Amino acid sequence: MKNEKSGKPEKQYNPEKKRENPDGKFSRPFVRSSGKKFQKSVRSGQGRGEPDKIRLNKFISNSGVCSRREADTLIQAGAVSVNGKIVTELGTKVNPSDRVMFGDQAISREKPRYILLNKPKGFITTVDDPEKRKTVMALIAGACRERVYPVGRLDRNTTGLLLFTNDGNIAKKLTHPRYGIKKIYHVELDKPLIKEDLIKISDGLVLEGDAVKVDNIEYIGDGKDRKQIGVALHSGQNRIVRRIFEHFEYKVVKLDRVYYAGLTKKNLPRGHWRFLEESEINMLMMISTR
């Protein structure tokens, strides 16, 4: 049969004829070393659309029953069953639809929650305190039914941004030194910071054998009040901002974290909390790819 426009014979499709590559070799399906045909994985599962599985200890941890390490102990002790069968092997994975039991208690995979608090002074960053001091958990009481935890710590007298979540992966990224999470603090000192000391801090210093480097340090506003300092850094070392100024014999009167991992205090009064917006959650999810 000829093509009406070109007048040239049209090629006829022959289902029996194998397709050839430019080098003359016949094409064939991609084969792994195992001999099985390659099936492209999909987001909802592998090949056949099975739901994503999750490690059993993470499933238990996400439910708020205990930490992952404690979950491993429960699993090895035979206290956890999946679909009616006792599971003792660490590393076991389960589907979100599986029936997981801790003794007679059913465990359900919780919805991830992300709560941002503008912490006031006088509260310690812990879930529970044996000395019965005020904890940050009291400030978000009733926010959600899921069991959330503070990510990292702020000193009792330090104010500002503090994140709570039950998402273990996000919490790990925000606290692990590898990811270098950026934090900005508003510092008020007991006396003006002289220019020479500001330059020394900017150049970097060594504290107790560890090198400390700030991203930026400057006077706030027009610089007339040299007690008001802005400090940006990625270090997650304990009490690092206070220790920097103590090294130069300054006392930190007030310390306020105004920026944390891309999150700010905008429209969040002191002592108040709010759920993160979807765009903010997505931003945190992208931390590993930065």
Residue 49 in domain = no
Identify the weakest region by mean pLDDT among 105-119, 197-211, 228-242, 273-287.
105-119
Same-domain check for residues 277 and 154: yes
Residue 5 in domain = no
Cβ-contact 147, 172 below 8 angstroms = no
Q: Which residue has the tokens 């465990």?
A: 107
Q: Give residue 160's identity as a one-letter amino acid code.
A: G
Mean pLDDT within 39-51: 40
* Beta carbons within 8 Å of 122's beta carbon, 6+ residues apart: 134, 156, 157
Residue 156 in domain = yes
What is the per-residue pLDDT across 127-182, written as a single tens digit (0 to 9) for each? Answer: 988 998 999 999 999 999 888 999 988 999 999 999 999 888 788 889 888 888 99
Same-domain check for residues 65 and 94: yes
Phi then psi dihedrals of residue 203, to 5 deg: -75, -20
Give the best-scoring range by mean pLDDT among 7-11, 65-69, 122-126: 122-126
What's the confidence (pLDDT) of residue 278?
93
What's the confidence (pLDDT) of residue 245?
97
Chain mean pLDDT for the chain: 83
CA dihedral 119, 124, 128, 133 (to 10 degrees): -110
Same-domain check for residues 141 and 275: yes
Same-domain check for residues 173 and 282: yes
CA dihedral 2, 5, 6, 7 (to 10 degrees): 40
Same-domain check for residues 274 and 162: yes
Same-domain check for residues 152 and 272: yes
Cβ-contact 129, 226 below 8 angstroms = no
Residue 173 in domain = yes
What's the confidence (pLDDT) of residue 39?
41
Number of domains making up the chain: 3
Is the pLDDT at 273 greater than 70? The verdict is yes
Same-domain check for residues 226 and 161: no
Residue of 98, 155, 197, 215 marked catalytic: 155
155 is catalytic: yes
Is the pLDDT at 199 greater than 90? The verdict is yes
Same-domain check for residues 188 and 173: no
| Through-space distance between the first and last CA atoms of the chain, rounded to whole angstroms | 57
Residue 226 in domain = yes
What's the confidence (pLDDT) of residue 28?
45
Residue 13 in domain = no
What's the confidence (pLDDT) of residue 220?
96
Q: Which domain holds residue 161?
A: 114-177+264-289
What's the confidence (pLDDT) of residue 261?
95
